[in-house]
């Protein structure tokens, strides 16, 4: 039996890489999926087609979630497509944008990175929570960088993901009495466009070699964990920040 049959799931940044895998797996479990994207229109269309072809239900919504107008657009489109209740929210929007050491960061870049990784998560959740009831689940995407400070030129990115980790714990306390669970997943080196663009091959090879499982993770690895946290199989788990890094770092 599909674990999320008839449920509504919103996935921000759901068009490609980890977001795509999450969207596909939620749909495969029976969820009606709202996929948000900003600039990846062709990828969003591809992901929608994959879900449609598999017999799932999905709608795609272009919205810049660093802006309040975009947040409102996503909420309105979700309600228009699937009604007034959301059961799963995955805050996946985010990115490193560029590697910059502290002395290279100007105010514009600072605001862009914080808005992308932190502001979007905060205000999307603020917007969607009123549509959530007992049993709903929020899953935030943090990062191994939140634990270890990130690689070269990633201190600001790491700090923004550290904020997500802390926010997750605070929200677990705030929304728990309503029966809403809030967790975060913290991926390590995952084979995605993120590292294709910003991490040299030599570093990726070295990191994989230091990882006990001796490989990079896949987007599906992360999606498997997210789907678990989205379902009632994790009904007594909240406030956690789950590492998914092949054993590269752990508590």
Q: Residues with catalytic annotation?
A: 157
3-class SS at 26?
A: helix
Coil vs helix vs strand at 221: helix
Long-range contacts of 233-237 (CB under 8 A, 24+ apart): 233/3, 234/137, 234/181, 234/183, 235/135, 235/181, 237/181, 237/183
Segments in the chain forming alpha helices (H): 17-28, 41-53, 68-82, 107-114, 120-128, 145-148, 155-175, 193-198, 201-210, 219-230
How is residue 120 written in tokens? 């979007």
């Amino acid at each position: 039996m599909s674990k999320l049959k008839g449920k509504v799931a919103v996935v921000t940044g759901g068009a490609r890489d980890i977001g795509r895998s999450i969207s596909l797996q939620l749909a495969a479990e029976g969820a009606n999926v709202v996929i948000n994207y900003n600039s990846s229109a062709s990828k969003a269309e591809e992901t929608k087609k994959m879900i449609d072809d598999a017999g799932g239900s999905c709608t795609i919504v272009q919205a810049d979630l660093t802006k309040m107008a975009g947040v409102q657009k996503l909420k309105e489109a979700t309600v228009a497509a699937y009604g007034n209740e959301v059961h799963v929210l995955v805050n996946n929007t985010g990115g490193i944008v560029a590697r910059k050491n502290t002395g290279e960061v100007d105010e514009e870049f600072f605001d862009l990175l914080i808005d992308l990784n932190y502001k979007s998560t905060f205000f999307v959740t603020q917007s969607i929570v009123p549509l959530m009831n007992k049993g709903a689940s929020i899953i935030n995407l943090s990062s191994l960088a939140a634990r270890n400070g990130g690689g070269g030129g990633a201190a600001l990115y790491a700090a923004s993901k550290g904020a997500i980790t802390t926010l997750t714990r605070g929200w677990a306390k705030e929304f728990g009495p309503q029966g809403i669970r809030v967790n975060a997943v913290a991926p390590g080196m995952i084979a995605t466009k993120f590292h294709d663009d910003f991490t040299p091959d030599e570093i990726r090879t070295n990191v994989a070699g230091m990882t006990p499982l001796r490989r990079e993770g896949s987007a599906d690895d992360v999606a498997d964990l997210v789907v678990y946290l989205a379902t009632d199989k994790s009904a007594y788990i909240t406030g956690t920040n789950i590492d998914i890094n092949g054993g590269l770092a752990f508590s």
